[in-house]
Amino acid sequence: MNKVPFVTKEKVEEIVKTYPTPFHIYDEKGIRENARRVNEAFSWNKGFKEYFAVKATPNPYILQILKEEGCGVDCSSLTELELSEACGFTGEDIMFSSNVTPAEEYVYAKKLNAYINLDDFSHIDFLKDCAGIPETICCRFNPGGKFSLGTDIMDNPGDAKYGMTKEQIIEAYKKLKSLGAKKFGIHSFIASNTVSNDYYPTLAGILFDLAVEIKNAAGVELSFINLSGGVGIPYTPDKEPNDIMAIGEGVRQKFEEILVPNGLGDVKIFTEMGRFMLAPYGALVTQAIHEKKIYKDYIGVDACAANLMRPAMYGAYHHITVLGKEDAPCDTVYDVTGSLCENNDKFAIDRKLPKIDMGDYIYIHDAGAHGFAMGYNYNGRLWSSELLLQEDGSVKLIRRAQTDKDYFATFDFGEYFDKINFKG
Ligand SMILES: *Cc1c(COP(=O)(O)O)cnc(C)c1O
């Protein structure tokens, strides 16, 4: 599978006349089409809802598009709740799947009538004391051990800080019921970035069996089962992407096999995907500004890890297209680097690319989720703008670039702020 940019070199040349590089750009058409496929894949389930994980791409214009496609939001912090509220999400449109939650965030989530998803047994009393137990409540499950699909170990939930053990979660439902809760949900996130059509169906099987056990052991019938995130995308061009229709069908089969015969056929299926909803529909566009040849050949670009941290943080692969050189042979080996004084600030290492000239635009694929959002300001590097390629082909600014004044804004109380000679 060759990865194809959703903007051409000509389009970028037009965009930079108004919005200089680096910038993140999102493809509205791609986002909408994918969201529609997700809803279609689960249309067999009456109450299905995708709660987009806000942390992946916390931009109100993106949230608005997803809202129009019928999605809710998954939040885990006060500011994510505030952003969602500003976008018009209310009550059952909001899933609050937090952990290590401060009291004021529970209070706010309860005020918004969001679904509150408890990460731990001890949070029952914590929530009761700070906000009260709502009528509908969700608990997060952690099965422990290692999670495998076939012979592949996918992740290590036994090592993850999230969720409750099976014994705890059964006790949690009993306790919540005794405290007046009337409706219940379960949530679990046990593997990240799975590129396999079996992840959701396997997780669904585990949670559906557990739902039956909870019904028998705690006398609680779950109203919803939240499969959370973890459906991934292939960052490398050699892998097959997930087939969301096959995934939806796999979950349906488990539903028919386990829930329906046990009188739980009304359960609503929820998802909380971030990466699958947005990653392929966003890119970081940056320009080659330096070439340096020492022991290796380096291309220096005007973006850095502060704009896209995944390669530096996880050693993650992000595919690169040199715009206008799509068909040129990849006959030169480069490290593509940013300007941070950190040697891990490399978008690509030993990557075979077409010969790059100064001024070339470098398109870094699959940056639409956990991309801009993980940005930081190390070395005083500023956040880029975010742009939306709209369905009619026009480009809209959906977040302006950070300025030096924004960067220094938290000094606005004292004697230094007024002495800074702001350039931009
Ligand atoms: C991060 C996160 C998600 C989204 O994960 P993706 O891998 O982007 O799908 C969903 N739910 C919770 C609770 C998360 O922390």
Condensed to tens digits (0 to 9), the pLDDT of residues 56-86 reads 999 999 999 999 999 999 999 999 999 999 9
**Ligand 1 closest atom vs CA 272:** 10
Residue type, 247: I
**Ligand 1 closest atom vs CA 369:** 8
> Which of 165, 158, 157 has its CA nearest to residue 140?
165
Q: Is the dihedral of CA 350, 352, 355, 358 positive or negative?
A: negative
Would you kindly state where each structural domain of the chain is located, as residue ranges?
Answer: 28-279, 280-411
Which residue matches tokens 């809760």?
A: 181
Q: What is the 3-state secondary structure (H, E, C) of the chain?
A: CCCCCCCCHHHHHHHCCCCCCCEEEEEHHHHHHHHHHHHHHCCCCCCCEEEEEHHHCCCHHHHHHHHHCCCEEEECCHHHHHHHHHCCCCHHHEEEECCCCCHHHHHHHHHCCCEEEECCCHHHHHHHHHCCCCCEEEEEECCCCCEEECCEEEECHHHCCCCECHHHHHHHHHHHHHCCCCEEEEECCCCCCECCCCHHHHHHHHHHHHHHHHHHHHCCCCCEEECCCCECCCCCCCCCCCCHHHHHHHHHHHHHHHHHHHCCCCCEEEECCCHHHHHHHEEEEEEEEEEEECCCEEEEECCCCCCCCHHHHHCCCCCEEECCCCCCCCCEEEEEECCCCCCCCEEEEEEEECCCCCCCEEEECCCCCCCHHHCCCHHHCCCCEEEEECCCCCEEEEECCCCHHHHCHHHCCCCCHHHCCCCC
Whether residue 136 contacts residue 160, with contact meaning beta carbons closer than 8 Å, is answered with no
Pocket mutation for ligand 1, best pick of 52, 55, 271 (most atoms within 8 Å of C-beta): 55
Average pLDDT of the residues in 9-30: 98
User: How far from 249 is each of 42, 122, 207, 265, 326, CA to CA, in Å?
Assistant: 8, 36, 16, 16, 36
- Residues 57 and 62: their CA atoms lie apart, in Å, by 7
Residue 140: pLDDT above 70?
yes
Q: Which residues pair with 268 in a beta bridge?
A: 224
Residue 272: pLDDT above 80?
yes
Residues framing ligand 1 (Cβ under 6 A): 53, 55-56, 74, 97, 189, 192-193, 228-231, 272-276, 369
* Cα 118 to ligand 1 centre (Å): 15
Annotated catalytic residue 341: yes
Q: Per the residue annotation, which of 75, 87, 304, 341 is the catalytic one?
A: 341
**Ligand 1 closest atom vs CA 193:** 7
- Residues 72 and 95: their CA atoms lie apart, in Å, by 8
pLDDT in tens, 305-343: 999 999 999 999 999 999 999 999 999 999 999 999 999
* Cα 370 to ligand 1 centre (Å): 10
Average pLDDT of the residues in 4-31: 98
**Ligand 1 closest atom vs CA 275:** 8
- Residues 423 and 414: their CA atoms lie apart, in Å, by 20
What mean pLDDT value characterizes the chain? Answer: 97
- Residues 255 and 246: their CA atoms lie apart, in Å, by 14
Q: Which residues pair with 147 in a beta bridge?
A: 155
* Cα 44 to ligand 1 centre (Å): 23
Q: State residue 150's pLDDT score.
A: 87
Q: State residue 332's pLDDT score.
A: 98
Q: State residue 11's pLDDT score.
A: 98
Pocket mutation for ligand 1, best pick of 71, 76, 189 (most atoms within 8 Å of C-beta): 189
Four-point Cα dihedral 290, 292, 298, 301, nearest 10: -10
* Cα 228 to ligand 1 centre (Å): 6
Residue 287: pLDDT above 80?
yes
Q: Which CATH class is domain 28-279?
A: alpha beta
Pocket mutation for ligand 1, best pick of 54, 199, 226, 228 (most atoms within 8 Å of C-beta): 228
Of 90-99, 150-159, 359-368, give the lowest mean pLDDT range. 150-159
pLDDT in tens, 212-228: 999 999 999 999 999 99
User: Of all protein residues, whose CA lies closest to atom 3 belonging to ligand 1?
Assistant: 229
Q: Count other Cβ atoms within 10 Å, centred on residue 263.
A: 10
Calculate what percentage of the chain has a pLDDT beyond 70.
100
Whether residue 216 contacts residue 189, with contact meaning beta carbons closer than 8 Å, is answered with no
Which residue matches tokens 């480069």?
A: 334
Residue 2: pLDDT above 90?
no
- Residues 218 and 174: their CA atoms lie apart, in Å, by 5
Pocket mutation for ligand 1, best pick of 49, 84, 97, 154 (most atoms within 8 Å of C-beta): 97
* Cα 293 to ligand 1 centre (Å): 40
- Tell which phi-psi region holds residue 366, choosing left (phi > 0), alpha (psi between -120 and 50) or beta: left
pLDDT tier, 1 (very low <50, low <70, confident <90, very high otherwise): low
**Ligand 1 closest atom vs CA 274:** 8
Whether residue 358 contacts residue 352, with contact meaning beta carbons closer than 8 Å, is answered with no
- Residues 254 and 143: their CA atoms lie apart, in Å, by 18
- Residues 210 and 395: their CA atoms lie apart, in Å, by 47
* Cα 47 to ligand 1 centre (Å): 20
Q: State residue 283's pLDDT score.
A: 99
Q: Which CATH class is domain 280-411?
A: mainly beta
pLDDT tier, 155 (very low <50, low <70, confident <90, very high otherwise): very high
* Cα 204 to ligand 1 centre (Å): 16
More confident residue, 424 or 405: 405
User: Of all protein residues, whose CA lies closest to atom 7 belonging to ligand 1?
Assistant: 230
Q: State residue 253's pLDDT score.
A: 98
pLDDT in tens, 338-386: 999 999 999 999 999 999 999 999 999 999 999 999 999 999 999 999 9
